[in-house]
Structure 1
Amino acid sequence: MLIHIKKILPYILIICFAGGSMLLPVDGIAQKADRKNKNKHRQENTALFLEANSNKLLGKLKKAKDLFLECLVLDPEDAASMYELARIERIQNNSDLALEWSEKAVQYGPENVWYLKLLSDLYQENMQFDKSIEVINKMVALYPGNLEYLYDLALTHLLVGNYQKSIQTYNRIEEMIGVTEEISIQKQKIWLRLDNPAEAIREVEALCLAWPGESRYKAILAELYLANDMDEKALETYLAIAEQDPENAYIQISLSDYYRKRGDTEKSFEHLKLGFSNPFLDIDTKIQILLAYFTVKEYYDEQKVEATELANILISTHPDDARAYSIQADLYYQNEEWEPARESLRKVLRLDPSRYIIWEQLLFTESNLSDFEGMRDDSRKTIELFPQQALPYLFAAVASYQFEDHEQMIKDLETGIRFVVRNDLLLAEFYNYLGDAYHQVGEDEKTFEAYDASLKINSENSIVLNNYAYYLSLRGEQMDRAKKMAKKATELDPENSSNQDTYGWVLYMMGEYEEALEWIGLSLENHNEENAEVLEHYGDALYKLGREKEARNYWKRALKAGKGGSDLLEKKADKGILYE
């Protein structure tokens, strides 16, 4: 019997070690099976999570969302999938769902800083700042040395008006990293918001002590002193900056401002000149200061000498910067000093010919100077550089008119008018000059069409009304209309001698000699010098009224006056007879 048992025992041992569970209790068998099941689910969940993330990275958000939800079916406590679902909902602007998933992620992963950070951000986006602060405090408790979380906490306290707590948090950061500009200036602003300038000043004073070589902080401190009526301390600080950093670009401007506020204009201007003489002070700042002289006319009228001096210093300090000459030109233009303005504008264009507005200003200046040769040449250069700008063509046409090049005038006007965009007044001027040009080449029908187009846009243009009426009267056509237009021109511009002469001439052509003589006489009175055309017209009216001797005297005066009379003037003066 023993022999039999010995033979059977090895087989029992083999079965026990091979099967294992055959000799385990029932609950042990169940745990083994559950462990296997969990391992299987974990593997499936990991695979699904990776697939979901791949879809998210590819922008397939719906597919990714479905896969993350499947992950939660396999593992309802999968915080990572909840976190990713929150991020997807945030991308899709579903703020409520994003917040819900984010809160669940933190519930199952309460110490995961990524989950906490997202939840904090979502609370802020939903204006739930108090809850955001609670979450950030947890992050700070978990990672007390993390500066980013402390900065977030300080800023969020600031957003909700917890100013003291914000300052306390900034103090905590300062204990870790020392005094810095960013924190000191932020605390200074908070103290000012709390209406506590003394603490604001102390913050900047501490910053200056920590960084004694940084004059910029002293300048901030001086401004604070000045704003709080601590003038002596402000001046002391400004002078310390000037001594420490004599090439400081802004100190002279600050001192100028200081003395200006105290009413010491002489010292203020002296420091302003020193500031303008400093090549390290950028030209943009200097230009902004100079532009202040243009904003209030009364101030400019009082300070134009100082403005001119500063503009000259600007040029000597920045001789290669076109903007310096541009400012100088503006000053001359403001003073109606056209010749120096023209020279300054030409210097601007030599340094920088790309600025269309300067070319335009130059053409206006040449117009004010009646410099038609310059206008002709510069308008051509402007057209070459800016062929789609309309105004240079008009200036070119005006110059051509002065040189009696009427064909070129018409060419420029017909080209330029195509580039007039959304500017009715400019368009009316083009038609006005086209009418004049067509008349000079004998195309009267085109003349009247152009004048009609101009008056359709601006019926109150006395120059067009005057010329239109005069040219109609020369042809003896539409005399009633000519009379109305000429009369309206005198009403619009009653002191204009040319309008008075035209109205008188239209009346003359209509046989109303007494009234004609009166209006032409007014024109003679208002002319600054003898005008051959008006003198001849006056003589003609006198002759029609039977005053032949007086008429001949006026014809002779017209001859002496020079150009402007008719081809028959010499014959009339010689014979004393009216020829028409």
Structure 2
Amino acid sequence: MYSRFMYRLSARLFAGLALCLTALHALGQDDTYTPTLDTTGATYRYFELFRQQLFDSANDETLYRQLRKAESSFPQEGEYPRWLSGLYSDSGMLDSAVACMKRAVACDSTNLYYLKSLHDLYVEQRGDPKEMTSVAQRMVALAPNRPDLWYALVVDYMRANQTDSAIAICQRLRGLLASTYTVDLIISSAFHMKGQPDSTLAYAIRNANAHYQLAEANYYVTEVAANLRKDSLAQLYFAKGLQLDCPKAPFLLTHLRYLCEIGKPENALTTLRKVDSLCPLPDSVALRIIGLFMYSVPPSMLAQKENQELMEALFAKLPMSNDAIIAKFRFYELVKERGKSRQLIARLSDLYPNDYFLWAARMEIEQLEEHPLTLENWGEKTATLRYIMRQFPHDIAAPLNYLFAVQKLVGAADERLVDSTEAIIDAYAKDLKNSNKTDQYHYYSQDSVKISMPKRLKLRENLSILYSYLGDIEIGSKRYKNGWKAYEKALKYNDSNALACNNFAYYIALYRPKKLSKAKRLSEKSLALDPKNPSYLDTYGYILYLQGDLESAKAVFTELLTLQRNPGRTALLHYSEVLRALGNEQAAEVYRLKAQYAADHAE
């Protein structure tokens, strides 16, 4: 938290200082300077003609060559290096501009105009702070009564991390600088850079009290106080600032995040509501504020009427995009306004029939609904799933959810479930057969980035998943040959299908003990693809047990229990069998009892 505030304050500081520096020559100081070029000479007339032609016709590469040639054609002293420096600067060639300006300064080291031009180039170039400091020191020596030059020196000292020198100048020349600059803010920033937060806060408060009519001065105290976890002080100065002007959007977001981080989300909501009553809520950070509240504020608090209205006001500021739609959908789900979320997604998906993410969200919310499936309402309840299967065939969730619905309606052992699965497989296989190697699926991500994927590769992956599902159904219905054929086809279409490898290995271990070596190879492959998967570790450990490699089996189950304290009834029973085979009857009984009371799924 501290480092993030440090970075933000430093960024804020230097942004402000850089802005001030760019305006130095517009502060009313007399920087007029009369060139000493002989404007009647042929050299000057040639220079002017060259400059005009240069910017009328040259591209970047030609421009650079011509400038280099010009540099050797003109005198190397007096005004010519300064004029060449200006040409280089206008062309964006800052290194060359600095080099020419250095030559001009070398010719006349007491020329304040030359020194200031060189300093401005250093600032634009973001050059060496030590060199900038040296030039600024020479400037204040020539004009000690100019606050803009002293301010430039202060900034250079801070850039060079010579904060003590910067503070000393501000304190010694407070009267001179205060006519133009907020001295206490500069000192506060310098103490911040030194890592002295108490002094940073003291001068921030002093600055806010001196400039009490400036909202930014009060908001700065809010930031510094928040950094020190002085919560009441941060809130006090935020309220003072809000009475004067609206906070900038990034600062408002930072302050709301701070209130949530210190465990006061209710204050964050109250603060934003107060801001909303006085200022327009900021469009630029609306989505980020929504995300902050959704992840930091308890859902029960967000569900309160006034807070829902506040969130709705934020949502109203978002442009129509997948991000905004998904965020609003998630919010309605979070506060259990499922009717609103379904209406939102249904309306928008009907409006945008080709938007994959809208239809995926519609499928998701419909799957969460508790409704009895009957033959009479089958068409209505599965309409979204069937639409996605037709319109977005790359999506495997829709066909799987459709098959789960069939299974829910008719039961896992019913032949109609197999028929439905095979019908979907046939449709994918036909599409694969008719596709070309160069065919692509296209859709847009949630942040509106176009995503493309090879059609044949995706179809093969989907066929592998569907055949693996078919294998589970067939084995569960004791049609073992059909099940093994389905698994083999799953791996034919995608031999990196970890789930198919694992399930095939487990059923071989259960029903074909003579083929344990094949089961082991498949299990090892599934773990190579997903080494921390508890189910895959259970399968592998059980196969090792069946092969008689008890110590290795025990090691696998030890790793499994490290990853998941309650991996489920089946895994606990397997481990109990391993321990009993090792002669550890007492431990085996403990895990048998754990299995007896464990849920038949992982935590």
- TM-score (structure 2 length as normaliser): 0.51
Aligned to 2:497: 458
Aligned to 1:166: 166
Q: Secondary structure of the equivalent of 2:212?
A: coil
Q: Is the 8 A contact 2:241 2:247 kept in 1?
A: no
Q: Is the 8 A contact 1:432 1:464 kept in 2?
A: no
Percent identity over paired residues: 12
Q: Is the 8 A contact 1:428 1:455 kept in 2?
A: yes
Taking only aligned residues, the RMSD between alpha carbons, in angstroms, comes to: 6.1
* Residue 431 of structure 1 pairs with residue 470 of structure 2: no
Which letter does structure 2 place at the counterpart of 1:106? V
How far 1:159 sits from its partner (Å)?
1.0
* Residue 378 of structure 1 pairs with residue 377 of structure 2: no
Greater relative contact order (CA < 8 Å, ≥ 6 in sequence)? 2
* Residue 271 of structure 1 pairs with residue 267 of structure 2: yes
Distance 1:206 1:285, change over 3 A: farther
Which letter does structure 1 place at the counterpart of 2:490? Y
Which of 55, 68, 73 is matched with 1:65 structurally? 68
Q: Is the 8 A contact 2:222 2:238 kept in 1?
A: yes
Q: Distance in 1 between matches of 2:495 and 2:207?
A: 70
Aligned to 1:188: 188
Q: Secondary structure of the equivalent of 2:220?
A: helix
Q: Is the 8 A contact 1:48 1:68 kept in 2?
A: no
Q: Distance in 2 between matches of 1:149 and 1:246?
A: 33
* Residue 350 of structure 1 pairs with residue 370 of structure 2: no
Aligned to 1:547: none
Could you say which structure has the larger radius of gyration? 1
How far 1:176 sits from its partner (Å)?
2.9
Q: Is the 8 A contact 1:120 1:132 kept in 2?
A: yes
Q: Residues 321-470 of structure 1 correspond to what in structure 2 (within 5 A)?
A: 326-327=326-327, 329-330=329-330, 341=338, 344=341, 346-348=343-345, 350=347, 356-367=356-367, 376-379=382-385, 387=392, 390-391=395-396, 394=399, 398=403, 410-411=426-427, 415=431, 419=441, 421=453, 428-433=461-466, 450-454=489-493, 456-458=495-497, 460-461=499-500, 465=504
How far 1:448 sits from its partner (Å)?
7.7
Consecutive unaligned residues of structure 1, counting only runs of 5 or more, are 1-38, 294-299, 497-525, 527-580
Deviations along 1:82-104, whole A, 9 cap, x unmatched?
65179659979795x76654333
Q: Residues 143-292 of structure 1 correspond to what in structure 2 (within 5 A)?
A: 149=149, 151-167=151-167, 168=169, 171=174, 174-177=177-180, 179=182, 185-197=185-197, 199-215=199-215, 217-225=217-225, 227-228=227-228, 233=233, 237=237, 261=262, 268=264, 270-275=266-271, 277=273, 279=276, 280-282=280-282, 283-284=286-287, 286-292=289-295
Q: Is the 8 A contact 1:409 1:437 kept in 2?
A: no
Q: Is the 8 A contact 1:329 1:342 kept in 2?
A: no
Which letter does structure 2 place at the counterpart of 1:53? R
Q: Distance in 2 between matches of 1:40 and 1:242?
A: 59
Deviations along 1:13-33, whole A, 9 cap, x unmatched?
xxxxxxxxxxxxxxxxxxxxx
Distance 1:307 1:409, change over 3 A: farther
Distance 1:415 1:156, change over 3 A: farther
Q: Distance in 1 between matches of 2:308 and 2:126?
A: 57
Which letter does structure 1 place at the counterpart of 2:48? L
Aligned to 1:136: 136
Distance 1:85 1:319, change over 3 A: closer
Consecutive unaligned residues of structure 2, counting only runs of 5 or more, are 1-36, 372-377, 408-415, 442-451, 475-481, 524-533, 540-569, 571-603
Aligned to 2:300: 305
Q: Distance in 2 between matches of 1:485 and 1:382?
A: 36
Q: Is the 8 A contact 1:136 1:152 kept in 2?
A: yes
Distance 1:307 1:163, change over 3 A: same
Distance 1:342 1:153, change over 3 A: same
Q: Which has the higher helix share?
A: 1
Aligned to 2:10: none
Which letter does structure 2 place at the counterpart of 1:347? L
Aligned to 1:506: none
How far 1:331 sits from its partner (Å)?
6.5
Q: Is the 8 A contact 1:397 1:408 kept in 2?
A: no
Q: Secondary structure of the equivalent of 1:212?
A: coil
- TM-score (structure 1 length as normaliser): 0.52
Q: Is the 8 A contact 1:431 1:450 kept in 2?
A: yes
Q: Distance in 1 between matches of 2:501 and 2:47?
A: 83
Q: Secondary structure of the equivalent of 1:457?
A: coil
The count of corresponding residues between Structure 1 and Structure 2 is 427
Q: Secondary structure of the equivalent of 1:461?
A: helix
Q: Residues 9-28 of structure 1 correspond to what in structure 2 (within 5 A)?
A: none
Aligned to 2:118: 119
